[in-house]
Structure 1
Amino acid sequence: MTMKRADFVFAIGFQGNAAIVDRRSRAKYGKLSSAELAREGLFKPAFCSALYSGDEEEMTEFLGIYGQAHGTEPPTVDQLKRVYGVYSDPESITRVETI
Structure 2
Amino acid sequence: MTELSLNMGAVAEFGAGVHAMADAVRQAGLAVSSGDHGVLAVVLGLVGEEFVDVADAARQSHLTDIDRLTAVIASVGDATRDAHRIYVDAESAVRAGLEAAATAGLPRGVDR
Question: Which TM class, normalised by the smaller chain length?
Answer: under 0.3
TM-score w.r.t. structure 1 length?
Answer: 0.28
TM-score by length of 2: 0.25
Higher strand residue share: 1
Higher helix share: 2
